[in-house]
Structure 1
Amino acid sequence: MSAPEHEGLRDRPIRTFGRTGGRPLSPRQQQLIETRLDHWRLPQPVAPDFQPLSVFPSARAVWLEIGFGGGEHLVAQAAANPETGFIGCEPFVEGVAKAIAGIEDNGLTNVRLWPDDARLLLDALAPASIARVFILFPDPWPKRRQQKRRLVRPDVVAGLARILAPGGRLRFATDVASYADEALLAFLGNDAFEWTAARADDWRCPPADHVTTRYETKKLGDCAPIWYDFLRI
């Protein structure tokens, strides 16, 4: 991503993610960003009411992951569900490079990337165009003065409700107790979502199809992981 792209973020709403760059990329990662990102990213610019199935002509549905980190979950889900198109959002350039490596090392063709603020994509997607959304261990912004930066807030929840098709599902996970409370209130505050938990293990234990992420293994939060699955009514 070029310097002008980074500078453009200054004029956008408050950032819900931290740095977009970090330590220097490895030679392979740098090459992937320079030569392969344009192949795997969504078409630019994305037109209003963008239909994601248009870039996955053989897919039955499209799933969206917001904040895919190192891409472990995104790549594994795409490999396990070849009939589904996947869009992964992640502004951190090293994570984007790792995702491209995973996509190409596994010979996947059903993934496209959005290396930018996910909210820009939410605004552009057509209504009811996504069948499933994953938000797994987003930046928790644990300090009280930072919590306004958390992604899951009522306006974003409303955007997610708009793009999810009826019967679609959304999975949220965090290991920060205050974020778990805040997110649950935000989702339940929107009449479009129904919490599917029937017993405590439904939010205490990872779902059967979960793929452990790199961040999850670090156990940096203040509680055991909490899992919320919601149905789009």
Structure 2
Amino acid sequence: MVERTGAFWGRRHGKALRLGQRGLIDTVLPALTVDLTQPPADPRRLFPVAVDDVWVESGFGGGEHLLALAAARPTLGLIGAEPFVNGMAKALARLDGSPLAERVRLHPADSVELLDWLPEASIGRFYLLYPDPWPKKRHWKRRFVSPVNLDRIARVLRPGGEFRFASDWAPYVDWTLRRLLDHPAFAWTARTADDWRRPWDGWPGTRYEEKALREGRTPAYVIARRL
């Protein structure tokens, strides 16, 4: 099976945005968007304040995890990618007027272009949390985790950096682990059977996780270290 190398999302819109949400997309988002037309540089320079590291989250939903990280780590810069307009609007509502906006930058599309733009070995961590599992076999080519995208992630992570993946869909967890174990740039960090069953320290939870737990699914939390 050929694994897809392009876009990995389906629809970009849900219900119609309210007037205030449209205003945030028009006025706040442009100031926070990473300009991929500019030559790539140290991503720490994207922020108006000093940061000591930069982490990326791909498909941040409404921004719950992204903004919790920003609040918990005052010297961290974060770049969030999200193609879904309604999720972006939710995150912008929380960022508008917040000091966290100084340390958050956004990419209103999936993260492939962002990964290709970032310099080599320039970030410390990459998150992929509860991505669409595309459960039907004919849609597996849309799954974000593939050898090509793991190459992309490996290129931008510094040695010792981490790829963190969470999902409640067991077949996608297995899919991801197989590809990570086959990739020469990554090592799975689990040491015991429970390592991947427990959330990471400081994990704030997400609405997708809450739904999974309500519906009786068990999430998995995978950490792979860049060699």
Give TM-score, length-normalised by structure 1: 0.90
Contact residue 172 and residue 229 of structure 1 kept, 8 A: yes
Q: Distance in 2 between matches of 1:44 and 1:204?
A: 37
- Give the corresponding residue for 2:35: 43
Indicate yes or no: 2:44 matched with 1:53.
yes
Q: Distance in 1 between matches of 2:217 and 2:79?
A: 29
Inter-CA distance 170–86: structure 2 relative to 1 (3 Å threshold): same
> Equivalent residue of 2:152, what SS?
helix
Give the percent of matched residue pairs that are identical in Structure 1 and Structure 2.
46
Q: Distance in 2 between matches of 1:214 and 1:223?
A: 14
TM-fit CA distance, 1:222 = 7.8
Q: Distance in 2 between matches of 1:98 and 1:181?
A: 31
Indicate yes or no: 2:93 matched with 1:136.
no
Contact residue 168 and residue 231 of structure 1 kept, 8 A: yes
TM-fit CA distance, 1:51 = 2.5
Give TM-score, length-normalised by structure 2: 0.92
Contact residue 176 and residue 222 of structure 1 kept, 8 A: no
Inter-CA distance 160–14: structure 2 relative to 1 (3 Å threshold): closer
Contact residue 79 and residue 106 of structure 1 kept, 8 A: no
Indicate yes or no: 2:152 matched with 1:149.
no
TM-fit CA distance, 1:50 = 3.7
Q: Distance in 2 between matches of 1:190 and 1:46?
A: 31
TM-fit CA distance, 1:13 = 4.9
Query: Which of 69, 74, 78 pairs up with 2:70?
Result: 78
TM-fit CA distance, 1:177 = 1.1
- Give the corresponding residue for 1:94: 86
TM-fit CA distance, 1:106 = 4.0
> Equivalent residue of 2:131, what SS?
coil
- Give the corresponding residue for 2:199: 206
Query: Which of 99, 108, 114 pairs up with 1:115?
Result: 108
TM-fit CA distance, 1:192 = 1.2
Q: Distance in 2 between matches of 1:179 and 1:136?
A: 12
Indicate yes or no: 2:186 matched with 1:189.
no
- In the TM superposition, 1:21-36 aligns within 5 A as 21-36=13-28
Contact residue 36 and residue 117 of structure 2 kept, 8 A: no
Specify the code of the residue in structure 2 equivalent to 1:83: T
**4+ residue runs over 2 A deviation:** 12-15, 104-107, 220-223
Number of equivalent positions? 221
Specify the code of the residue in structure 1 equivalent to 2:199: P
With 94-103 and 150-159 compared, the bigger mean Cα shift is at 94-103
CA distances 1:44-67 after superposition (whole Å, capped 9, x unpaired): 4243x4431121350111000001
Q: Which runs of 5+ in 2 are unaligned?
A: none
Specify the code of the residue in structure 2 equivalent to 1:71: G
Contact residue 40 and residue 100 of structure 1 kept, 8 A: no
